[in-house]
Amino acid sequence: MNATDRTAAGLLGSALADDPARPLVTFYDDATGERVELSVATFANWVAKTANLLQDELSAEPGDRLALLLPAHWQAAVWLVAGASVGVVTDLTGDASGADLVVSGPDTLDQARACSGERVALSLRPLGVRFPQPPEGFMDYAVEVPGQGDRFVPYVPVDPEAPALTLPGGEELTAARVVERARQDAAARGLGAGSRLLSALPYDDWNGISAGLLAPLASGGSVVLAPRAGLLDDAARDKRAESERITHTAP
């Protein structure tokens, strides 16, 4: 990884330059049996499309607040880095009322309606398919994102010293501080190139998004997201750890 990277989007760019074919995010939904594996290149393509959606279709600008109401999911990971690419402030507090736009899963639509700005809904169904019927008042992400461009260039360069992430409790981190903390967490966990971190943590605080994406990304490793791993017995979890070549777990 490039030690000069100062945004999460920069970390992804370095990972893409280093080895685009290696796995970056693997996601399990143990309620449905879904497994999705995204290489660095595939993940970066989703990020570019989502960032273009943010910038061009939703008119998001640096400093706008994006309430992220999504569980630990590969598409939530995409939105985290897409937000960093545009320069919006991703808000994990769960309060949509003060946000300029909101991104919601199917279980938080009522909460998301508190946002008076743009609203995007994700079905979170296997294969990222669209809603059978789009929720009223929301853009269906699965309908809109495929047609977006595969390359992203921000209209305004992202300032690493500008706010990038708001955590529960109100703590606000700059883009550079997000990267710094991710690197610190990676070191504390002993992550390095080729590490494979299994995380069952939710995406509702720093620990969840760090273990579930940012620390592995900052260290040249990868993450296996399994937020519903509690549905498995010990033997099934052990089998997964072996098949996925897990080297570290969270918490």
By the 8 A CB rule, do 241 and 247 touch?
no
Res. 251 pLDDT band, cuts 50 70 90? confident
Please give the pLDDT value at position 249: 97
Eight-class DSSP state of 135: P
Q: Which DSSP string do the residues of 121-141 spell out, in sequence order?
A: E----GGGPPPSSPPTT-EEH
Q: Which residues contact 148 (CB under 8 A, 6 or more apart)?
A: 48, 49, 50, 52, 53, 56, 57
User: So what's the pLDDT on residue 11?
Assistant: 98
- 93 inside domain: yes
Is 71 within a domain? yes
Assigned domain for 2 exists: no
Average pLDDT of the segment spanning 148-172: 97
Region 135-153: mean pLDDT is 97
| pLDDT, tens digit, 9 for 90 and up, residues 172-192 | 999 999 999 999 999 999 999
Q: What Cα–Cα distance (Å) separates residue 116 from each residue in 112, 113, 137, 222?
A: 9, 7, 10, 36
Helix (H, G, I), strand (E, B) or coil at 200: coil
CB 242 within 8 A of CB 224: no
CATH number of residue 94's parent domain: 3.40.50.12780
pLDDT at 216: 98
* pLDDT score of 4: 78
Edge-to-edge, what's the strand order for the sheet holding 248-250? 34-39, 23-29, 222-225, 196-199, 248-250
Exposure on the CB side of residue 91, measured as CA atoms within 13 A: 21
Q: At residue 222, does pLDDT exceed 80?
A: yes
Look up residue 8 and give its two tokens: 């999460």
- Is residue 3, in this structure, part of any structural domain at all? no
Reply yes or no on whether the pLDDT at 228 is more than 70.
Answer: yes
Instruction: Give residue 144's pLDDT.
Output: 97
The answer as to whether 208 is a domain residue is: yes
> Distance (Å, rounded) from C-alpha 2 to C-alpha 8?
12
Question: What mean pLDDT is predicted for residues 232-244?
Answer: 97
Q: How many residues does the chain have?
A: 251
pLDDT tens digits for 105-126? Answer: 999 999 999 999 999 999 999 9
Q: Side-chain half-sphere of 125: how many Cα atoms within 13 Å? A: 9
Residue 154 is part of which domain span? Answer: 8-250
**pLDDT in the model for residue 151:** 97
**Number of structural domains in the chain:** 1
Residue-wise pLDDT tens digits, 39-75: 999 999 999 999 999 999 999 999 999 999 999 999 9
Stretch 162-177: mean pLDDT:
98
Rounded to whole angstroms, how far apart are CA atoms 223 and 236? 18
Structure tokens at 102: 């909101």
In the prediction, which pLDDT does 127 show? 86
| Of 31, 83, 72, nearest in space to 197 by CA | 72
Distance CA 130, CA 124 (A): 8
Instruction: Give residue for tokens 């061009």.
Output: 56
- Structure tokens of 57? 């279709």
Mean pLDDT value across the chain: 97
Cβ atoms < 10 Å from Cβ of 175: 24
Report the share of the chain in percent with pLDDT over 90.
97
**What token pair was written down for 131?**
């809603």
pLDDT, average across residues 190-195: 97
pLDDT value, residue 1: 59
Q: Is residue 209 part of a domain?
A: yes
Confirm whether 183 is domain-assigned.
Answer: yes
